[in-house]
Structures are given as structure tokens and as C-alpha cells.
Amino acid sequence: MAQLTRREFASLTAGAVAGAALAGPLATRISAESRVRGVLIGAQTYSFRDRGLDAAIDGLKSAGISGVELWQGHFEPREPGGRADRGKLRAWRLATPASYFKDVRAKFDRAGIGIYAVNISFRDDWTDEEVGRGFDQAEALGSKTITASTNQTTVARVAPVASKRGMFVAVHNHSKMKPNEFATPDDFLKAMAVSPAVRVNLDIGHFTAANFDAVDFLRQHHDRIVTLHIKDRQRNQGENLPFGEGDTPIKPVLQMLRDRQWPIPAGIEYEYRGADTLAEVKRCVEYCRQALLET
């Protein structure tokens, strides 16, 4: 496997807080297979939400993706139609040993796929002990970066834990303007003001659907963005569409990463309605690859 440069590693581990000790292991786990013109075309494993972990890993390998943000639903228990019962899920989080998460990480290691971030969406109903176990899980999975579809009020409680652990929590946006959620640039700015440990997981599709400028936000705040979600949506809360058919500036964003040499993973998140998940993810990868090869 190709080794990451020092600058690439620093970004993929969200800046290597306090000299993060994962440099060696992570550098050997992320190959150059899905890197194009210096940009890592990764994926949110939620793209393969229609299948379990092992089949998702097979899909990622088939699509040529060598770095991922690991979706919570691929390592936590799920029940038909949604998440497990809240009480059962809390009990599972508190009781499940680190060895379970290390085994999950080992599956990615064997597949040659690096985990550059772990999705653990802390919410207001999480206990402090549950929050702590979330950080334990991420560490066992080999990541110093947690992405979170979290509440605004949760940030002040989670940020000190992230700082103490030498980790980052990257808040994730959606498009709907709901109280106590993340959607606007100001929502991000308020969260980042809480602590240097708070970063941004910018979903450029949702940002566009909410009528904000992803290119401008990336230009201004790239040093606080640890990963992107790449999807295509229409403005004015429009629907998800195949890449290139919506209003999201996917090409300008990818080319800015390339031209400015900002080593922020560009994580494909397949959400539009397609005939076959693997075929559509491959289509997304190829769209991103071609965008990066354009002059």
C-alpha cells in the first residue's frame, strides 16, 4: 500500500490532535487506490445501508474505495424498519467490549480499507457514560475523528470529552431548518466556537438544498472541515439526484480540494433512487474521478 504524506495523514486524522498516536497504523491502512490527483474519493458506508457489514465491505472493495467514514448502523444492532429499542441500544453500548470493535476494524484492515472517521451521532438523550463509550468505540475502530448528526445543545457536553481524549467531533448538517439541529453556516460557526475539538462534516448536498454555498463555506473554513459528504440535490429542499443532475457544485468542490491541495476526504453518500446500490456507487466514483481529471 502507498504511504500517506505527512500532510495527508494529518488531515485524514482530523489534524492529529496533540500528536495523535495513530499515524503509523492509519498510514498503512489507507491505500492510494481511490485517490485521484491527490483527493481521496471515499465513502460513507451508509451508501450500502441495504446490506450488512461484510457485504458492505465487499461492495466498497468492488467499487475501488479505499477509505471510509463508518456508518453507525454498520456496527450497532439494528432491527427491521430501523434502530434497535432505545433502552436495549444503550445497554448494548455500555456492555459491548472493545474487542468487538477491534474485530470490525480488522475486517476493514484485511480488505485494505482505512477508516478515516466513525459516525457516532451523540444526541441529547445520551447519558455521559454512553458518550464516553462512543469515544471508546471510535478509538477501538482506529479513528480519532467522530462524525455526528448531533443536537446543538449536545455539543457543549461532548466537546470537553473530545478535547480530553485528543479527538475531534465533526458536526453534520441536514437541509431542514429545525430547532436544535444543524443546517446553516451560523449553526456550524456556533459549534466551532465552543472548542477547537469541534469540527465540521460538511454535506454539500444538504447544504445546497438549504440554499447555501458549499464552495464558499469550504473556501472559508477548510481548516475546520474533516470530511465531506458528496451527494447531488436540488436547491429549495429539492430531492436527491444522480451525480451531475442536481444543483450541488460537486465538480467545483472536488477541484478546489485538488487545486488547493486540501487533503479532506470526499466521501460519497449514495442516497438517490437507483436500480442497484453497487452499480450506482460505482457510477458516483467514476463521476468524481472524471471531475478530478478535468483541467
Successive 10-residue mean pLDDT values, the chain, 295 residues: 38 37 36 84 98 97 97 88 78 97 97 97 97 98 98 98 98 97 98 98 98 98 98 98 98 98 97 96 98 94
What local confidence, expressed as pLDDT, does residue 31 receive?
52
First CA to last CA distance, the chain: 28
For 14: left if phi > 0, alpha if psi spans -120 to 50, otherwise beta; the answer is: left
- Sequence-distant (≥ 6) Cβ neighbours of residue 254 within 8 angstroms: 39, 230, 266, 288, 291, 292
Decide if 288 contacts 41 (C-beta within 8 A): yes
What local confidence, expressed as pLDDT, does residue 85 receive?
85
Name residue, grid cell 485524514: 12
CATH fourth-level superfamily of 6-293: Divalent-metal-dependent TIM barrel enzymes (3.20.20.150)
pTM score, whole prediction:
0.89
Decide if 208 contacts 229 (C-beta within 8 A): no
Domain definitions of the chain by residue range: 6-293
What local confidence, expressed as pLDDT, does residue 22 receive?
32
What amino acid is encoded at 5 in this protein?
A: T
- Sequence-distant (≥ 6) Cβ neighbours of residue 230 within 8 angstroms: 204, 205, 243, 250, 253, 254, 266, 267, 268, 269, 284, 288
